[in-house]
Each structure stands twice: as structure tokens, then as C-alpha cells.
Amino acid sequence: MSNGAPANAGTLRPSAALLAATAVWGATFVTVKDALEATDAFTFLAIRFAVGALASVALSKLFKEPRANVTRAALVLGLLLFGGYLLQTLGLERTTPARSAFVTGLTVIFVPFVAWRLERKRPPLRSFVAPFVALFGLQQLTSFRFDAELPAGDLFTLGCAFLYAFHIVLMGRYAKGFSPVAPPAQQGFSPVAPPAQQGLPVMRLTAGQLLVVAVLSTSCLPFIERRFASTPTVWFSIVFTGVVASALAIGAQAWAQRQLTSVRAAVIYSTEPVFAVLTVAALGHGLPGGPELRGGALILLAVLISEVPLGEILGRKAPSS
């Protein structure tokens, strides 16, 4: 199948799985915010990802996944994931949550270029149009305003977005069983992995990278002011984010990206703030206003654009025009 083909049954299920995982991540904002009032970020991350790694191992045995060497892939992905969390945390200490959300959303812009560099093949037209539409929607959603000088927190968060872009692209390549960098004439932008390519077992891959994040988060604890209050709210947040938002959602991410392009995945990820706003509204903390609704609509439009073969449509119309 060429990458210009519209979405079909081959991409519908992985797209739905990725959208469900993104909805879970968007719903965790309120839960994590409440937990961080009683514990420091790195203690929370260390316990959360340790729980997630254990849950992933259990799910791998439940699904009877084949044994495979995931060490290298898990180490690379875990380092990128931890680096993203670290820079995002440093950025949040120096900027507002709205600015952090917008700058982190630049990931969707970086992904096509990272994929182009690693896969050595230019993505189709919609892979550049959809991310910019999503970014404009995110600007409306967060009410981000460009300043003459970027705060230091925005620069940290920009580094986070860059690492997340590499994580998304490499997650897809490792999950498909491809090497990180493709030969020039191979491994193009097909939305569905070739049938012969089985890829790595997704839950083992998930367990490995979550373990890396847990270990690195634990290694940071001697250098920070630690605090931890053992409350039902904290433990609910740890279990929910560890099992559902980490083991299940990142496992779903790996499985879905085995069958989707990294650009399409990144556009779907950009819906996370939409689900965050909907969660806040559902909990009775205020209904979204005009900018939030416009932003959400634009992000959803970007998801639709990512499924439409713009290059083929423009190519067919070119002779008549």
C-alpha cells in the first residue's frame, strides 16, 4: 500500500488504539497535578514507571509474547523518554503550563523532519500540512502568545519536544523491527508495516523503556529535595498512571506505531490537550470557551488532513487547472 492511500481497515484499528491512549494521557493531567501537591516529581516518576514496568512484564507473559532482545531499543527509547520528562519538568518550573503545553506541541512539527532524516525519504504533502494545522489549533487551545524573547523554561521545553519527536519516530521503527536509520532506497512511508516484518514484542519493549525511566528517575533522587505523602490520592494516581497511562497506553502506542507512520501518530498525539480540556470540563471545573473549541476543532481537522492524500488530489486537479 502506498502512503497516499486513505485510511482503511488496515489503519483504522491502530489509529483508534492510539487515539484511546492519547485520551488516557490527556485525562491524567488532573490526577497527576493533584498527586504532585503531595510528592516531588522524580519520586512520583520513579514509582510510577516502576509500577508500569512490572505491569508490562505481567502483560507480556499474559499475551505470551515471544522472547526477543529488546535491550538496545528499550535503552534508546527509555533515555529519550526520560530526557523529555526531565526537560519538561525543568521547563514547567520556569514557565506557565499553557506555554509548556504549546511548546511541547511543537513535537508534531519536528516529527516529519526527523522521519525524513532517519528514513531518508520525503514524507507526503499532508505530513507537513497536518502538523501546522494542529499547531495552530494548539495555539488557540492554550492562548499562547509569541514574545520577543523566549523564557528559559520555553527553551527547556523546546528540547523536550525535540526528544519526544525522536522517541515517536524511533518507537515506530523499533516496533516494526527496522533499524533506527533506513538505507536510502528502503523502508519508506507505508502506513502499514510489511507483512514479513514482525517487529519487537510490544509489551517487552514497553517494560524495558519504562524500567529505564524508573532507574534514571531514582538516580536523580539524591540531588533533589524529596517529599512523599502516602495518601489515597497519591497511590491512586501512581497505580492509574503506572498501569493504564504507562503500561497499557505506551504498549498500545508501540503496537499502533508498528502499523502507522510516525507523522500520522504525531498528529493523533496532538489531540492530547483536547482530551485534557474535556476532562477538566467533565469534572465540573469549567466548560471550554470559544478559543478552546476552535483549537480543538482545528486539531481534529489536522487528524482528518493526515488521512487525506493531498498530493494525489492536487496532482489529479493540476491538469484541469
Strand, coil or helix: 164: helix
Give the other-Cβ count within 10 Å of 65's Cβ.
16
Residue 168: per-residue pLDDT: 93
Q: How confident is the model at residue 292 (pLDDT cuts 50, 70, 90)?
A: low
Residue 298: per-residue pLDDT: 77
Sketch the domain layout of the chain as residue ranges: 9-314
Q: What are residue 181's DSSP bridge partners?
A: none
List pLDDT tens digits, range 20-62: 998 898 888 778 878 888 888 899 999 999 999 999 999 999 9
The full DSSP string for 51-70 is: HHHHHHHHHHHHTTPPP---
Q: Which among 159, 107, 101, 87 is positioned nearest to 276, based on CA atoms?
A: 101
Residue recorded with cell 523532519: 113
Residue 286: per-residue pLDDT: 61
Q: What are residue 228's DSSP bridge partners?
A: 39
Sign of the CA dihedral running 206, 1, 263, 278: negative
Q: How confident is the model at residue 308 (pLDDT cuts 50, 70, 90)?
A: low
Tell me how far apart the alpha carbons of residues 36 and 237 are, in angstroms, rounded to a whole number: 10
Cα–chain center distance at 26: 11
User: Which of 17-21, 138-142, 306-310, 313-317 is modeled with the greatest confidence?
Assistant: 17-21
Tell me how far apart the alpha carbons of residues 196 and 191 are, in angstroms, rounded to a whole number: 15
Give the other-Cβ count within 10 Å of 320's Cβ.
5
Residue 179: per-residue pLDDT: 64
- Determine contact, residues 119/188, Cβ cutoff 8 Å: yes
Residue recorded with cell 505530513: 127
pTM over 0.85: no
Residue 313: per-residue pLDDT: 46
Quick one: 247 exposed, middle or buried, by C-beta within 10 A (0-12, 13-18, 19+)?
A: buried
Type of residue numbered 2: S
List pLDDT tens digits, range 80-129: 999 998 888 888 777 766 677 777 777 888 888 898 888 777 777 777 78
Cβ-based neighbours of 229, under 8 Å, separated by 6 or more: 38, 39
Q: How confident is the model at residue 244 (pLDDT cuts 50, 70, 90)?
A: very high
Residue 137: per-residue pLDDT: 78
